[in-house]
Structure 1
């Protein structure tokens, strides 16, 4: 077929395509009723139109026909001779190939691999799927390292067909498209695009990567820190044409196995990122200081959310957070939520003047301490301590907010934190009142929480009454406060990781009128359960398992959740059995999850 015939067929196909609807059909469920909408993009803007259920089959067939014709069109266009100017045009993006990739990967050859590396490897070397792989997650969670490790393992032949494209904020989707076409013509098969969400029109045009290049046999990996941007692109353009690989959540077992750092306390202090491995990790960790943690909240979380919302639907998805964004207060609201999210993510956290729950809880525990009771925190100037803490955390009180915060703001911030995999709700159930339910929110990056808790200690040191204590007294109070914080954080870590490792089981806290089981793992299929106490301790004390041994609590639990198959105390000591109660080391327990 000569060029003239090709062009004639192409023109005919274009005329047929123009008469057919584009886009997709989506379904929404409201009050148990299903509604259908036709979605498509036009001039960079998303359009949406309601369609009746009767119209759906015809519309679906027309959209399917259009896609088939578009594929024919692409196949014909590939047969057209390329203009010489297109082949000689300079690349617009920064691209590494060949020996540059070998040098790029040299620094990570000795690094241990994250568990998700295998999924990346399988995509690259697996069969062609007409899909792109999206490698996404918050900053410093190992995305680029995974890609460099893959380059390090490539044969010379595969590496000669690989390219790493660094997208910049000034690049456009048209420029990336042009560069990809040139790479395709030169025989490149494996293409990695880093920080692709910096493209202003990425969300609206993401289908380009799957429908054009992946469909033609290229393996395309899109990576970046803008997690919400990728999720919006999946909903808007990519649908079932992408594989999602998320790096944000780093469980304890990976913290230990990849970084070579052992100990639940180390994970509590610094867990959440993989910015370093090995020597001097503690001093240089992302969460080693309050200032670094604040910078991370600002750049990796708050700006992530803001950038995605700005680029999605022409800023039409800010919803009720727009006023906060325009007033420059969205970061402050997110910071406040992250600080308090472990136990009290409620409207009150956002609207009332900041008050430290850590301080009040520790005061009560110090008064009740059996060995060395003290009322020192009752004598401390709480107002001054709270003000110092508020200043350290850079959290605005209600009178400093120009935009009032309400329950809608709280709910929307929570939605985005959930989408980032930064937070996870844990159920809190009650017996005998089975209808009473609650939840507690765990944070997936414990170092963030601990950095803010450390700020409390700094605030206490500024109080005159506290400073008047002797050095041993000050150290004892600080140690007790941090122990309380770590204990509560350890509970959240165990609950979160157990829940994620057991998707077919129900993991929850079970509260009674007096006392609670720190964790219950209910297996609906087996109609049985296990009960746990979680203690930040290395010692065995009978009081630790008094609830597990309580006949009434156990009977009520078995009536509701089936036979109790195991009673376990998770703690930091060695494994042993005491009075029929199993003691298990918490680090060994966490390392065993998911295996």
Structure 2
């Protein structure tokens, strides 16, 4: 048996062994009766499972077969040359192979996998497609971890044919081409290139990966944080020769299942990245503080856009942003647009609350609070507070700005934020005036929005009227207003995730002259709709569904969108039915979306 045949047999044996039960069979005697159990070790813990009598012989045969195959595999591996890392000095770029990849993957073995991992897995182990796989998204959304998880599950034979190239800004496409040719000559089959868009000539020459190396049977995975760069590359160079997987958006169900962090309030405050799983998430979260949030906006978002535009079409895609770029103010401008979106969100919540019902409810609740009643929300100068918040937008380096940030700049930056999947628009429709249409911008990373809104509220508390309050009163007011912010954010989260999970349906807010449905899901094919109220509350109350049972609103809605097939209140309490209205726990609802 030659080397190639031995490697093939090793791969076959590893596959067969993985499909057979590990461990042993043990017997226990209880009251004179014999019982048999499957015993094995998993995550350093001993496990046992009862084996029914009619399955015992077949199970015993599988255990014995596994042991035979393991003995054959052990003997065969002794004959194989040990997997060695390729000589690093032979490469121009930073190439890891062999045992270095085992060490690289070791720390992620216990990590849970993102839902999109299956797409990467199927590409790596599927049939050659003459395409490259592009894994892209903002920083801390799990790209490199997914690659390490691929390495962690590779057999020795597969790992011997795998390489990981860490690209730096000093590398060029010529350097990478040279190293890929060396890897190809040595029989490498799986090549992963991380942060590939750091090469300034990547966008203009990316077809090299698909047309030369992928076409020859190599599995090429390109990853990086420069989302725009990859999108430009697809448009200009790769066309239909690439598979795109975007990691930026992390829905609630993944935040909970992958990170092990439970509760919609945790998602509101910290959701948006995969920076840490499990215990003490909020202590090291990307959005744990205003400072860390600003750093993320600056490095992960603003520089992403600026780097892409600088490298694309020889800096020919700046359009109206060129003046800002040439004066070194583009990153600051992008940051200000992100902040402006959140400022407008916060102002909208506060001012709308005052003139409609939500903050009016807050004021009423504070007045009637049994422990610490206060009429502070009746006494503050709303116009003054609103004006001061508007001025906050211009605080950032205002004295150093030489180019005015106008609506054209903001619109172009917003286009790029949409391409990054950072922002999405939710339609706001109106009845009976169907010609009126507006929208609201949703930030797809809740933690980013909450951190900036929280900082604005802290600024609000510097108002003279607030400063005269006691600490207890200031704390109560801050918590009440932040509760309103969370309520609006919960609406946005539900709207966004419902919209993404239902691409063939229309998801929107429906406003009436007085009141609104927080969410309508209209199915054009079925000619029907469902209507929702979304509440941050843990308790059910009749006033929560007053709009859902309003005969005039329901009649107008059915005339326009067909029969109403369900009326729901999504809230943080237990699922139940009240007066024909389906109350559903919002976390359960978000988990159910796929």
The TM-score with structure 2 as length reference comes to 0.80
User: Aligned match of 2:366 in 372, 375, 381?
Assistant: 372
CA shift, 1:464, in A, is: 4.3
Deviations 1:400-421 (A, max 9, x none): 6422233321221111011001
Work out the CA distance in 2 between the residues paired with 1:104 and 1:399: 47
CA shift, 1:334, in A, is: 2.2
CA shift, 1:459, in A, is: 1.7
Work out the CA distance in 2 between the residues paired with 1:276 and 1:395: 32
After superposition, residues 8-27 of structure 1 pair within 5 angstroms as: none
Check conservation: 2:269, 2:446, Cα contact below 8 A. yes
Check conservation: 1:335, 1:395, Cα contact below 8 A. no
Instruction: Specify the alignment match of 2:417 in structure 1.
Output: 417
Instruction: Specify the alignment match of 1:227 in structure 2.
Output: 227
Instruction: Specify the alignment match of 1:533 in structure 2.
Output: 533
After superposition, residues 19-58 of structure 1 pair within 5 angstroms as: none
Instruction: Specify the alignment match of 2:163 in structure 1.
Output: 163
After superposition, residues 339-378 of structure 1 pair within 5 angstroms as: 339-341=339-341, 344=344, 356-357=347-348, 359-361=350-352, 366=359, 368=361, 369-373=363-367, 374-377=374-377
Residue ranges of structure 1 left out of the alignment (5+ in a row)? 1-86, 346-354
Q: What's the secondary structure of 1:472's corresponding residue? A: helix
| CA shift in 2, pair 1:394/1:454, >3 Å | farther
Work out the CA distance in 1 between the residues paired with 2:90 and 2:187: 17
Deviations 1:85-138 (A, max 9, x none): xx9983111111111111100100000000000000000011110000000000
Q: What's the secondary structure of 1:277's corresponding residue? A: coil
Check conservation: 2:427, 2:439, Cα contact below 8 A. yes
After superposition, residues 67-466 of structure 1 pair within 5 angstroms as: 90-341=90-341, 344=344, 356-357=347-348, 359-361=350-352, 366=359, 368=361, 369-373=363-367, 374-377=374-377, 379=379, 395-396=395-396, 401-466=401-466
Work out the CA distance in 2 between the residues paired with 1:255 and 1:216: 38
| CA shift in 2, pair 1:434/1:343, >3 Å | farther
Work out the CA distance in 2 between the residues paired with 1:386 and 1:370: 21
Work out the CA distance in 2 between the residues paired with 1:164 and 1:558: 57
Work out the CA distance in 1 between the residues paired with 2:441 and 2:144: 29
Q: What's the secondary structure of 2:425's corresponding residue? A: strand
| CA shift in 2, pair 1:490/1:88, >3 Å | closer
Deviations 1:518-545 (A, max 9, x none): 1000111111110001111111111110
Deviations 1:468-510 (A, max 9, x none): 3223312210111100110111111000000000011111111
Check conservation: 2:350, 2:359, Cα contact below 8 A. no
| CA shift in 2, pair 1:395/1:185, >3 Å | farther
Residue ranges of structure 2 left out of the alignment (5+ in a row)? 1-86, 368-373
After superposition, residues 510-589 of structure 1 pair within 5 angstroms as: 510-589=510-589
CA shift, 1:432, in A, is: 1.1
Check conservation: 1:393, 1:455, Cα contact below 8 A. no
Q: What's the secondary structure of 1:245's corresponding residue? A: strand
| CA shift in 2, pair 1:471/1:193, >3 Å | same
CA shift, 1:323, in A, is: 1.1
CA shift, 1:467, in A, is: 3.1
Check conservation: 1:572, 1:585, Cα contact below 8 A. yes
After superposition, residues 493-512 of structure 1 pair within 5 angstroms as: 493-512=493-512
CA shift, 1:460, in A, is: 3.6
Q: What's the secondary structure of 1:122's corresponding residue? A: helix
| CA shift in 2, pair 1:578/1:397, >3 Å | farther
| CA shift in 2, pair 1:388/1:495, >3 Å | same
Q: What's the secondary structure of 1:298's corresponding residue? A: helix
Q: What's the secondary structure of 2:366's corresponding residue? A: coil
Work out the CA distance in 2 between the residues paired with 1:514 and 1:90: 72
Report the count of equivalent residues: 499
Q: What's the secondary structure of 1:371's corresponding residue? A: helix
| CA shift in 2, pair 1:397/1:530, >3 Å | farther
Check conservation: 1:343, 1:441, Cα contact below 8 A. no
Work out the CA distance in 2 between the residues paired with 1:359 and 1:496: 21
Work out the CA distance in 1 between the residues paired with 2:525 and 2:390: 48
Work out the CA distance in 1 between the residues paired with 2:338 and 2:402: 20
| CA shift in 2, pair 1:88/1:579, >3 Å | closer
CA shift, 1:390, in A, is: 7.4
Work out the CA distance in 2 between the residues paired with 1:89 and 1:451: 46
